[in-house]
Structure 1
C-alpha cells in the first residue's frame, strides 16, 4: 500500500570533530597564505642606495 504522507527527509550530516579540525586547519592555512601574499605585494620597495656599491641587494652595502 502506498503512503500518502511526506517522504522521509534524508539525514543531514552532523558535524564531527575530525571534519571541524580539517576545515579549521585548511582555513587557517589559507588565511596565513593570503596574509603573507598581501604583505609581500603591499610592502614598499626599499629606497635606492646612492653608494658606490654595485650590488643591488639592500642587505649587502
Structure 2
C-alpha cells in the first residue's frame, strides 16, 4: 500500500501585500527616522520580519496626537 498524499498538489506561496513593508516616516520625528534606518537595513539584509516590524513602528507611531 502506498502512503496517502498529505495535500492535493504543490504548495501555493502567496505574496504578501507590499504595504506591510512600506511606511512613510514623519519629517523631523526621531522615532520614525530610527525606524526608517532599521527598515532600510532590513531591506538590505533580506530580513522580512525586521522590515515588517520597522514599517509597523512607523505606521503606528503617534505624531503629536493627543489621547
Q: Which has the higher helix share?
A: 2
Q: Which structure has more RCO (C-alpha within 8 Å, separation ≥ 6)?
A: 2
TM-score (norm 2): 0.28
Q: What TM-score, normalized to structure 1?
A: 0.30
